[in-house]
Amino acid sequence: MFPVYPDLKNKHVLITGGSNGIGEALTRTFAQQASEVTILDLDKDKGLKIAKDCENLNCKVNVYSVDLTNTSELTKTLNLIKQETPIVDVLINNAGYDPRYPLLEMSEEEWNHLFQLNVVHYFITCRELLPDMIKAGGGSIIMTSSHVFWIAKPDMIAYNTTKAAVIGLVRSLATAAGKHHIRVNAVAPGWIMTERQLEQWVTPEAKQKTINELQSIPLELTPDELMGTYLFLASESSRAITRQTIVVDGGYAQS
């Protein structure tokens, strides 16, 4: 169902949080483009299952189990990846979590831990992989933000702060890395009906209201609705596009 971008064939695509939800769809979608995909995720079993499925389609998926909030473990794993796999052409910083709290009723530890996952690992992967991308002559970095930045939901203050930080990182890094032909963009999804969202947050009333009243387009959003945007931003078709955040939310946010 997705267009094929011939330039993505044999490209090395690294995806954080590639075992479930939006990340799983990204892993399967890029593997179908015949890219070599490497995923970093705590859920190793699920990652290996996806890798097996992809192997049956002659696609290569490498799985590295790592806690992305542990910077030394993450740095060590990235160094191993640099030794064991080709230079990363496309980096997709995607893993994240979206807790709800009334007002600011959360501890400093909870606040910092959320930043560690939703922001700090994005910085660490860029810092560690950028030098080789520069040597290779270019690449595409895509980060997952959220339309919550525009909606500013009252019970998601910390989450929204992390997603705003991602947009800041994208904009400044894009300016700095452009001369090396490295493009940096963000995708800001709307409410995507992943397995975890359905388990943790979705109620029939909230879902109905979002789709039929808050979105301009009455469409249930699944990870598939995002894939065309990630593929486009990874491919040479978007070679003149950088520093952008593309909102994919059925026309909910007034971005």
Ligand X SMILES: NC(=O)c1ccc[n+]([C@@H]2O[C@H](COP(=O)([O-])OP(=O)(O)OC[C@H]3O[C@@H](n4cnc5c(N)ncnc54)[C@H](O)[C@@H]3O)[C@@H](O)[C@H]2O)c1
Positions that interact with ligand X (CB under 6 A): 17, 19-23, 41-43, 67-69, 94-96, 98, 117, 144, 146, 189, 191-192, 194, 196-197
Interior angle at CA 34, CA 28 and CA 36, nearest 5? 80
Structure tokens at 156: 């998601």
Which residue type is seen at 218? Answer: P
Minimum distance between the CB of residue 210 and ligand X, rounded to whole angstroms? Answer: 10
In the complex with ligand X, which residue's Cβ is closer, 5 or 230?
A: 230
In the complex with ligand X, which residue's Cβ is closer, 52 or 239?
A: 52
Of 13, 7, 10, 12, nearest to 25 by C-alpha is 13
HSE (side-chain half, CA atoms, 13 Å) at 93: 31
Tally Cβ neighbours within 10 Å of residue 195: 10
Minimum distance between the CB of residue 249 and ligand X, rounded to whole angstroms? Answer: 8
122, 159, 230, 252: the catalytic one is 159
Minimum distance between the CB of residue 213 and ligand X, rounded to whole angstroms? Answer: 17
- 159 assigned to active site: yes
In the complex with ligand X, which residue's Cβ is closer, 35 or 162?
A: 162
- Pairwise CA distance, residues 126 & 92, whole Å: 10
| Active site (catalytic) residues | 159
